Chain A
C-alpha cells in the first residue's frame, strides 16, 4: 500500500515538473512583441473594411524592407513564403499597393514608425473622405484618375478590405524592431536565395475578427439567439455629441434665433487605440472650445435678457465615419427632437459656422496662417457676407481669410445638413460657412492617421502654471516676455479663436467688441497638451468630477480620439464637455448636495474639482446627446440605402504578435514518416503474431476454437 502511495506521489510530482518545463519551453520558442496596435475590421451597409488574421493568427517569414530593392526581391525572387513584411512608415505608401497586388505571398505587415526616416505624408483615409455621404454639388471622386481630391496623399486603406493583418509599432517600441532585426540578420539574410528548407526567423500576428460581410449580416448574427453561439460579432460606432448655448434655451425664451457653431471631436486611424488627430480635429476643437470660453466672458450669461440672439456651440463626434454625429443632430432637428429640452427649428439657425480642419498649415515656420471660408452658394447671402466681413475686420493685420464660393466643399458636417435640409440650404435659408486652412487639397499630410500627432502641428508644451482661480496669462504678455513667439501654434490658435469670439460677439450684440477679453495662448497651450500629450494635465484635473474618495491619476498619454463603439462613452468627448462647462459655466457658492439638488430651467449643474481642487459647483448649459447614426434608431432601416452612416466595428477576442524561429520542416516530416512506419510495422507484427500464435505460445488455443460455440458461450457471459 505504502509503495503504491509513493508511486502516485511520484507520478503527480513528475506531472508538475513536466508542466513547468512546458512553460519554459514555450518561452524559449516564442518572443512576444509588445505594444503593437492592430488594424481591425469595420463594416458598413455594403462592405467590410480593415484587416483580420485567421483564427490561429497569420505566420510568415520575416522580411525587412530597408530599401526599395528589398521589395523587388520579395515580389520576384522570394521562395519561402508567405512572408511577414517589416516595413517603416517611410516606405509604406510606396510599397503597400505593390504588396496588395500579391496577397498570396504576404502573411501580414508589421509597420513601425521610424525615427530616422520620417515620411512626408501618411494617410490611410480615402482621397475623398466620406465621399459617399457628401452632399449635392461635391465633385471629389476617389476612383477617378483625374481631378483634384481633398486628401491627395490618401491611400484609401481605411476604406478597403485588406487580405492580411497589419500591426503598428509606435516609435517608443523601436526595441522590438531591433529584436526582430537581430533575428532576421542571423537566420534570414545569409544566402537569401536559398531560404527554403532552412530554419527562418518568423513572426505570428493574431487579430482574428468575428464580424464579416457587412453591417446588416453582422447585426443579424449578433442578435440571433442560436443555442451554441450567443456571440455578439459587431457593435455600431457612436458616442456623444457635446452642445452648449451661450444663453439658456428653454421652450419659451425670446432669443430663439441661434448661430450654430460646430467642430468635430473625433479622428481615426487604421490601428486600434491610435488616433491622435492633431491637425485633423484637435486644433479645430481647441479653437472652438477657447472661442466659446472667450465669448462667455464677453457676454455674461446673466445679461441674457438684453440680447435677441443666441449662440449654440456643438461638437460632433464620429464625423470620420460618414458624419455620424452631425447626421444624427440634423436628423433629430428635422424630427423636432434636438436639443431635447427645447427643440430647435432649422429656420431658427440664422447661420451655421463650422470650424473645419485647421492645423495642417500650422507647422509652417512663418507668421501667416492663410484661412479659407467655404460657402456653398453662388449668390450673395447677406448673413455670410456680414459674417466674413466682421471676421475679416477682426483678423490681425498679417492674417487673411479668403472666401470660396463653390458647392464643392471639403469634408465637414455641412454635408450632413445639406443632405438632410436640402431645401433650406439650397435656398439659402440655412446659410453655411466652413473655415479651413486649405483651399484645393488638405494642407494636412497626415489626415486621420497614426502620425497626426503633436509634431504635425509643431506643438511644444510650455508648462506654465495656472493659479487657483483659473486665470490665464494674456497672449500679449506671453509674447512680450518671450515665452511665445507669434509663429508658435498656440499663439496662432489663440488669435484665431479671439477673432471667432469677437465676430460672434458682434453678431449677437450687433456692435463691435471693445473690451479686452481675448483667448490666452496659455490656455491653448494647456488644452493642446491635454488632448495631444497627456490626460494627466492641469485642465482635465480641474474639470474632473470632484469625488470624495482617492481616485487614480489619469494616464500620461493622450486619450484616443477614435469614436469607438456606442456601447460606452469614451474619454475625449467627456473631457471636452467638462472643459466647456468649467470654462464657460458660472461657479456657484454651494456644496455638493445643494449643487445637485438645484433645478433651474435651461441649466444643469456639475460638481467639478475646480482650479483649486476643492470642488466647485458649475452651472452650465452644456449637455450631451447621442452620436449614434439614425440608421440604428430608425426601425427597419435599409442598411444598403446609403442615406445615413452604417458603420459598425467587429468584435475581437485578443490581439497579439510574437516572434520565433520556424524550423525548416525537415524534422517534422521525418517524425511524421517515422510515426507512420512504426504504426504500419506494429499492425503487421500483431497480425502475424495472431496468425501464428500456436507456433509461439505453447498452450495457445487453435484459431478455429475462438469462433466455436463453447468459446462464444464464455464470451457471452462476459459481454451480456
Chain B
C-alpha cells in the first residue's frame, strides 16, 4: 500500500489502527507503524491530521523501543544464566544445545 495515494484522514485512521493492534502485545506492529508513518509525521508539509499522526508515531516508537529493551535484557540474562538455571533453563529452551551444558 502506498501512503501517498491515501487521503489524509485515511492515513490517520490507518496509523491509529496500527497503534491499537500494537497494543495487543505486538511490538513489531508498533515498530512498523513508527517507521512507516515517520515521513508523514515529521517530513511532510503540515496538514490537519499530522499532529495526531505524530502522536501515534511517537507512542508506537516509544512502545517498540521499550519492548526491545525488555527483550534485550531478557535475552542477555537468559544466555548468561541458562546453564546455571538447570532444569528450568532447559525447560525454557526451544532448541537444547547438543554436546554442551
Which residues of A are in contact with B by a Cβ distance under 8 Å? 52, 55, 208-213, 217, 220-221, 224, 226-229, 231, 233, 712, 716, 719-720
Contacts and interface: CB of A to CB of B under 8 A. Distances in A.
Given A210-B98, A220-B87, A716 B5 contact: yes
Contacts of B2: 716, 719-720
A209 B98 CA distance: 8
Contacts, number: 44
10 contacts: A212-B100, A213-B101, A217-B86, A220-B90, A221-B90, A226-B93, A229-B95, A229-B96, A231-B96, A233-B98
B79 interface: no
B99 interface: yes
A224 B90 contact: yes
B97 to A, nearest CB: 8
A209 B94 CA distance: 20
Contacts of B96: 221, 224, 226, 229, 231
A212 B83 CA distance: 12
A189 B84 CA distance: 47
Contacts of A224: 90-91, 96
A226 B98 contact: no
Given A210-B98, A217-B90, A224-B90, 19 more contacts: A55-B99, A208-B98, A209-B99, A211-B99, A212-B100, A217-B101, A220-B90, A221-B90, A226-B94, A226-B95, A228-B95, A229-B96, A231-B96, A712-B4, A716-B4, A719-B2, A720-B1, A720-B2, A720-B5
Interface centre among B99, B100, B101, by most chain A C-beta atoms within 10 angstroms, is B99
A52 B99 CA distance: 8
A275 B96 CA distance: 33
Interface residues of B, number: 16
Interface in B19-57: none
Contacts of B91: 224
Nearest to A224: B90
Interface of B: 1-2, 4-5, 86-87, 90-91, 93-96, 98-101
Closest 4 CB pairs of A and B: A210-B98, A212-B100, A213-B101, A221-B96
Interface centre among B93, B96, B100, by most chain A C-beta atoms within 10 angstroms, is B96
B94 A228 contact: yes
A648 to B, nearest CB: 14
A210 B99 contact: yes
Contacts of A229: 95-96
A212 B100 CA distance: 5
A208 B99 contact: yes
Nearest to A709: B4
Nearest to A652: B99
Contacts of B101: 212-213, 217
A227 B94 contact: yes
Contacts of A228: 94-95
Contacts of A209: 99
A720 B4 CA distance: 12
A709 to B, nearest CB: 8
A231 B98 CA distance: 9
Contacts of A52: 99
Contacts of A211: 99
B99 A212 contact: yes
Nearest to B93: A226
B30 to A, nearest CB: 24
Contacts of B95: 226, 228-229
Contacts of A55: 98-99
A211 B96 CA distance: 11
A227 B1 CA distance: 36
Contacts of B100: 212
Contacts of A212: 98-101
A653 to B, nearest CB: 10
Nearest to B2: A716
A213 to B, nearest CB: 5
Nearest to A719: B2
Contacts of B1: 720
B3 to A, nearest CB: 11
Nearest to B1: A720
A468 B100 CA distance: 57
A165 to B, nearest CB: 12
Nearest to A231: B98
A28 B86 CA distance: 46
Contacts of B4: 712, 716
A220 B91 CA distance: 10
Contacts of A716: 2, 4-5
A328 to B, nearest CB: 27
B66 to A, nearest CB: 29
B85 to A, nearest CB: 12
A391 to B, nearest CB: 51
Contacts of B98: 55, 208, 210, 212, 231, 233
A50 B94 CA distance: 28
A95 B13 CA distance: 77
A231 B93 CA distance: 14
A206 to B, nearest CB: 12
B8 to A, nearest CB: 16
Nearest to A53: B99
